Amino acid sequence: MILHCVSHLESLWMNKRTQHLLYLVFLFAKYVVFFRRIIPLLEHSSSKTFPMNLSSSENSDASRTYSQRVCRYDLDEIDACWLELFNMELKEMEKPEMDEFTLERVLEELETVCYENMNVAIETEEGLGIEYDEDVVCDVCRSPEGEDGNEMVFCDKCNVCVHQACYGILKVPLGNWLCRTCALGVQPKCLLCPKRGGALKPTRSGTKWVHVSCALWIPEVSIGCPEKMEPITKISHIPASRWALSCSLCKECTGTCIQCSMPSCITAFHVTCAFEHNLDMRTLLAENDEVKFKSFCLEHSTGATKPPDDVRMEADQGKLDMEKVTLRKQKLQQLEEDFYDLVKPSEVAENLDLTEWLVDFVYQYWKMKRKANYNKPLLMPKTDEVDNLAQQEQDVLYRRLKLFTHLRQDLERTDGLEPPIFRSSNPWI
């Protein structure tokens, strides 16, 4: 019975693989007809030749040039089958065959140009860029402006926006950047407020998370390393009276609240709730270079928005936010489906010093292969490889931190225990 199931699964797998290969061969044959018709016209207009069947001196120069650059793309079985069919057609037309390295170079260049142009399209206003949204502010200081050496950085996963100094980013990465929670793949809740998401940093134990804004505005809390803005420390210094305060905006007792800075007012509210309702939150610099935080309640703030009394207003706002996110996803999906419009074979041919008709054939094959693979890239970008290595290192450090935390907790439990008394059966001991 088991052997029958295994053979059945193998037949299904072979059928799907055979269908995939036959589909590519069918499309290739379709373009072979076009190739035979158009190649005589292109021979008169193009004088470039791709690096195949070179002389000994030219071959040595080309080998030195190729050795300077390592190709990251490796051909698979489908590529090898396509290249074999393509070389058969070239041989019938008395053209030099294409080697595997040339095909790898072209496919790698197509993937690189597509990735770079797609990032440009996403970051521009005509594309999907959040950077050009006028309402976007830093999640920590609520300022919409950046400056040299303190740029505004966006997380490529959760889209949170922070200043370098506000989040402790010592150097802006060249590729993608992920915030601390997205880099670890967690979605924790803030220890000091009921809000999820945003610019979060871990505590010293590494198991709990706090908004950087909450850590700055709550007076008892401190930050271990101001340059890296982590870890969040002195959570235990928060008095019980602050934990017992109820937020006047969200009506929840979760976390801790701050109070209005007016001497005669004791209204309490969460830091994130105050930002959400545009309360007057001032950061003042004293004479001794000490930073003072002044917060004012809804009654003593100018330009604040009152919390909605009607649940329908909240539902409408949530609906608008959902529509905005849905529209962005639709644009992104459409951009991924039309990935081939971001690449021009003429530019790729010029970059690699190859004939345009040759690159165009590989371009058509590349487009069909990505379409058959649900528009997924054939090559992982270099930045993603670096990010994966960095994330693996962070995961290892996170697991070690959890191990040391459990070990310390076990040692603390054993401090209060008395040492065991062993009774020996030997009367002389």
pTM: 0.47
User: Per residue in 221-237, pLDDT tens?
Assistant: 999 999 999 999 999 99
pLDDT number for residue 283:
83
User: Per residue in 187-212, pLDDT tens?
Assistant: 899 999 999 889 999 999 888 999 99
Encoded tokens for 42: 């292109």
DSSP 239: -
> Which of 367, 386, 395 is CA-nearest to residue 107?
367
> Which of 33, 125, 25 is CA-nearest to residue 81?
25
CB-based contacts of 364: which residues, under 8 Å, 6+ apart? 31
Q: Which of 291-305, 322-336, 370-384 is predicted with the least confidence, judged by mean pLDDT? A: 322-336
Confidence of residue 267 (pLDDT cuts 50, 70, 90): very high
Confidence of residue 172 (pLDDT cuts 50, 70, 90): confident
**Residue 190 — φ and ψ, nearest 5°?**
-65, 140
> What whole-number distance in Å separates Cα of residue 306 and Cα of residue 277?
7
Question: CB-hemisphere CA count at 13 Å for 285?
Answer: 1
User: Which contacts (CB < 8 Å, 24+ apart) does range 331-337 have?
Assistant: 331/127, 331/128, 332/122, 332/128, 335/118, 335/121, 335/122, 335/127, 335/128, 336/118, 336/375, 337/375
pLDDT number for residue 144:
84
pLDDT number for residue 183:
87
> What whole-number distance in Å separates Cα of residue 19 and Cα of residue 38?
29
Q: Which of 13-27, 192-206, 292-306 is predicted with the least confidence, judged by mean pLDDT? A: 13-27
